[in-house]
Amino acid sequence: MEPAEAIAAYHEALSAGRSPEAIAAARAADRQSHAELNALRARPENSECFDCTAREAGWAALPHGIYLCIDCAQVHRHLGRHISQVKAINTGTYLWMPYELQVMRSIGNGRAARAYRNAPPKVAAGTPAEVKLKRAQALY
């Protein structure tokens, strides 16, 4: 699926809400979903945080389809859920819906980097949150 289609399906599914049947199906596929997310995260293009140089990208930002470190995930939380929703991919804490997985499959950090090629440069890991927030606000 093309990124634009995956993002459109994501927004449409959010608007429709989660049915009890969809939640049950996501729960049944939870272990498999997290295994797939961890495999996607292990790809070289997704192993580094999209927003900074941190090597541990254990979080995802939707609908952007990018992999983030925990510090940048916190920054994305400050952007608001209408701009960026973050979910852990390596803890099993969050239930992943099929339309969310499709966004992560369709985009990833490599494809997002090409889409955001005119973005402000990536910051170093350990950069203060205020600086990361200003960059994220300019980018997203």
Q: Is this prediction's pTM over 0.75?
A: yes
Q: What is the pLDDT of residue 91?
A: 73
Q: What is the pLDDT of residue 1?
A: 87
Q: What is the pLDDT of residue 87?
A: 95
pLDDT tens-place string over residues 56-113: 899 999 999 999 999 999 999 999 999 999 999 977 678 999 999 999 999 999 999 9
Which of 35, 106, 41, 101 is closest to 68 using CA atoms?
A: 41
Q: What is the pLDDT of residue 56?
A: 83
Q: What is the average pLDDT across 18-45?
A: 94
> How far is the C-alpha of 115 from the C-alpha of 113, rounded, in Å?
5
- Residue 133 CA: distances (Å) to CA of 33, 35, 51, 92: 29, 30, 10, 27
The position carrying tokens 């949150």 is 129
- The contacts of residue 21 (CB under 8 Å, 6+ apart) are none
pLDDT tens-place string over residues 37-53: 999 999 999 999 999 99
Asked whether residue 118 carries a pLDDT value surpassing 90, the answer given is no
Q: What is the pLDDT of residue 94?
A: 86
